Structure formats: structure tokens, C-alpha cells
A and B are shown apart, each in its own frame.
Chain A
Amino acid sequence: MPNHQPVANSRFEPRITAFFCNWCTYLAADLAGTSRMKYAPNTRVIRVMCSGRIDPQFVLDAFAHGADGVLIGGCHPGDCHYQEGNYKALRRYYLLKRMLMDMGIEEDRFRLEWISAAEGDRVRTVINDMVEKVRALGPLDLRTPIPETLPEEVTV
């Protein structure tokens, strides 16, 4: 993992992978940008069409590739562009969160938020808050079994 080891005397900067839905939260992040709101620069946003599109494999893959936290943003319940995609995301989220905790990944590293297209300010609050919480937890530093030879990378 490049640039991941905290350098002495410098603050640990968490890396957060954010999956935002095309119709609400991504637009909210756009709004935050056009409104020139300042917030922590630690997230890498990936746009997906719907929070229901987020396969739990995406979340695990993000952690496996060095994310210190994963944030999912979707439309408020009842507002899903595809009617019920966000409910599917919600159900998976609860089970995946519990499984991640069993795997030693703290609760605050995985978060789901409903943010509508009008809530640019909420993007700022949520990201700032999550960055601080993950910073307090420190690097994820997965010490999972390192294979001697890796099987060929399979794209998720």
C-alpha cells in the first residue's frame, strides 16, 4: 500500500471510499462543490446509479485495497429513483456491518447515509465527521494472510 504508513510527526490521513448514488448523494456532493463548501479531502467518490447497485464485494474490495473507511450515500427512503434500491442497500448494510465487525473492522469504518440532492451541507458534515472518527481509529492496517503467490486478480 503506497503512501499509507503515517510518517513520524505527521497526522494520519484516512482514505475513505465513498459510493454515492447518481440521483441524490452524488448531486448533493456536486452541490457542495458548486457552493464552495470546504470539507475534508479524504474521500474518493465513486458514482453508482443506485445505492442498491452496491455489491458487498465492492465494500470488501475497497477495504482489501487500502481504504480505511467506506461510506455509502443514497436517496432517502421513499425517494429512490428506482423505487426500492435503497431499501436493498439498507438491508445489506446492516448484515454486512455486523459481519465486518466480526472480522475486526470497527463500526465507524462503514457508514450508510441518506443524502438528498438538496443536502450539500449534509455531505460536508457527514464526510468531516467520518474522517475524524476514522482518523481516531487509525489506519485499517489489514494484516490478513499474505499469499506466497497470488492467484490472478479477478475483477469484481
Chain B
Amino acid sequence: MATKPKVAFYWCASCGGCEEAVVDLAEAVLDVVAAVDIVFWPVALDFKRHDVEAMPDGSILATFLNGAIRSTEQQEMAHLLRAKSKLLIAFGSCAQLGGIPGLANLFEAQDILKAAYCDPTSNVNPEGVLPLTHCTNNGHSLELPEFSKHVRTLDQVVPVDYYVPGCPPTPKMLANAVQILLSGELPPRGSVLAPDRALCEECPRKDSKPEKLSITAFKRPQEVLIDEQTCLLAQGLMCLGSSTRSGCEALCITGNMPCTGCCGPTSRVRDQGAKALSALASMLESKEDADIERALAAIPDPVGTFYRYGLPASLLHGKRLDKHAETRRAGS
């Protein structure tokens, strides 16, 4: 019997939604299982790290890794799976662009630990104990992975062969990716396995988009009754479809919600957030400084709006850190 190609799934800094996408294949998961051997999938199968370590290098055809890289353990697993796999696929927004966990790059690592372990009123931690990488207790030596300074995308840690975008990728996108990998006709390395065009191109409301988009005010979904037929941009909603890659089949738009940009940029764009900001701001009709500022005030959190899924992959990677913070902390 010919051996089936081996496939692995792994998760790093993520919510589990990408694992759901695999489960959401529903019956199609049987076709996948029939075509490949799943050799490692911590969320569903009982294989351990030492099982992966025992495999020969390059013995896994493809590893689908979801989640950003935030700890030394995730970094080690990324390196390990990179070595064992012929193809490493960044699966989902977090692995591709940093994702929602990437917004943590707006804060200092120490402040995040403090917010999690010291500040919550439900935590009893009078001594302000933070997680340590080494600790000895009753003669036992204990170790924890280190919390990295920054959130990184997978390709900022190891070379990545392909990307499957989305938060999470749709089961269709996953099935399509598996099919491409099994076909043996591989696209150029570094390709994003989704159409290379903006979401507007496949938007069901495309025909209702006026030739010139011009609005006087931005509206947020909770503030208006959204018309179900008309282009969301024409209604003043902050839809990022024009600066986001298609492939999701306009799921959010179909649900009458604006696109938030999870599928990342197309290949012609380096920084999705900057492009989205540019597109939305240019739509304003106002010419007076005060009017413009008033209209833009309806976007209270530009970073969170335009870099919701891609801060670590952006040109600035995150907030400029206060270089004196550590000195001050050491002094206090």
C-alpha cells in the first residue's frame, strides 16, 4: 500500500477559530483524511512534541500552522515543524499577518503581563508575582516558556511557503489549499492561496457602488439601519473591502456587516492599514479642516480599525516603544 502524504496542524497564539475551520469541513474532512495521514494535530489527536521530533526532516508534506508567535515555545515549535515539513503554510490571519493578538504590539510586554496578573480585581496577587521562566519549588525545578517582547508573524520567525488568509479561513479555502498541495502543481513559493484581487470585485453589492464615492460622515454599524442592498461605503460605513483580498466570498457583507479586512492585502499592497486609511479618508467630501477633523472623529481608533488583523506585518510592526520605559521601571 502506498503511503499517504503526511499533514500536520498546529496552533500558536490564536483563539482556536482556525481549528474550527478544519472541523467545519464537516463531511469533507473524510475526503481529506482519506487522502492524507494527519500525523500531528494537538487540538484533536493525541500526538506529542516528541513524536514530531522523532520524525525524519522533511517527512511531513505540509504543516498548517495557525496563530502568531508570542512565546519561545511557539518559536521552537515553528522551527521544529519547519524542519520536519516540506511545505509550511501560514494558516489564518494570525500566522499570516499577526491577527488580533498582533494588536498587543501597541503595548509593552511587561505591561501586558501586569495587566493580566496584577491589575484584575479578581486576581489575588499582592506581591505582584509575574510568570518566571525558571523557578524552584520544593526542590522541583520548573520552567515556563518566555513571553516575547513582540508578537511576530510566522514568516518573521521561519520561512513560509504558502499563506491561507482569513479569520478564520473558510472551509472552502482550506479544502482548496489541500487540493492545490496534493495536486503537485504548486504555485510560486510565497503565494497566498486566495484570489489576488480586492473583495469589492466579488462583492454582491458591487453594482450599487456609485462611480464616485463621496460621503460627508462615517457611520458605525451600531448607529444606523444598514440597507441590505446598497454598497456599504456608499452608506458611509467603514468597509475595508477595497483594500482587502477576496476569497471569503464576502461572508460579512452577506451578513450585512462591513468587511474588517481579515484576508489581508493583495500582492500589490505592502501595508494594508495605510491603504485602507487612504481609501476611506479620500472618500470624504469636506474641504475645510474643521469639517474633515469632525468627520474623522467618527473613527476613534484608527490603528484598531485599519490594522485589526495585521499590525505585526505592517511597516511599523507596532507602536513605537518608549525607550526610557525600562530605565524608569528599573529605577522605580
* A→B interface (CB under 8 Å): 55-57, 59-61, 63-64, 77, 87-88, 90-92, 94-96, 98-99, 102-105, 140-145, 147-152, 154-156
Contacts and interface: CB of A to CB of B under 8 A. Distances in A.
Contacts of A142: 316, 320
B284 A147 contact: no
Interface stretch (B120-128, B170-178, B223-231, B298-306): B298-306
B320 A144 contact: yes
B159 A149 contact: yes
Contacts of A155: 270
Given A57-B270, A99-B277, A92 B155 contact: no
Contacts of B245: none
A98 B296 contact: yes
A91 B275 contact: no
A94 B157 contact: no
6 contacts: A61-B270, A64-B315, A91-B286, A94-B289, A102-B301, A141-B320
Contacts of B190: 152
B26 interface: no
B299 A95 contact: yes
Contacts of A88: 281-282
B149 interface: yes
Contact of A104 (B275, B289, B319): B319
Contacts of B299: 95
Contact of A141 (B317, B319, B323): B323
Given A88-B281, A103-B316, A145-B152, 4 more contacts: A64-B315, A145-B105, A147-B153, A151-B156
Contacts, number: 128
Given A60-B314, A94-B296, A147 B157 contact: yes
A104 B280 CA distance: 22
Q: Which of A64, A144, A149 has the most CB of B within 10 A?
A: A144
A95 B150 CA distance: 25
Contacts of B321: 104, 143-144
Nearest to A152: B190
Contacts of B179: none
B241 interface: no
Contact of A148 (B156, B270, B320): B156
Contacts of A64: 315-316
Contact of B155 (A57, A98, A105, A151): A151
B154 to A, nearest CB: 10
Contacts of B323: 141, 143
B155 A149 contact: yes
Contacts of B52: none
B156 A99 contact: no
Nearest first, the 5 A-B pairs at minimum CB distance are A145-B150, A147-B156, A104-B320, A99-B302, A144-B317
B304 to A, nearest CB: 9
A140 to B, nearest CB: 7
A92 B149 contact: no
B16 to A, nearest CB: 24
A3 to B, nearest CB: 19
B287 interface: yes
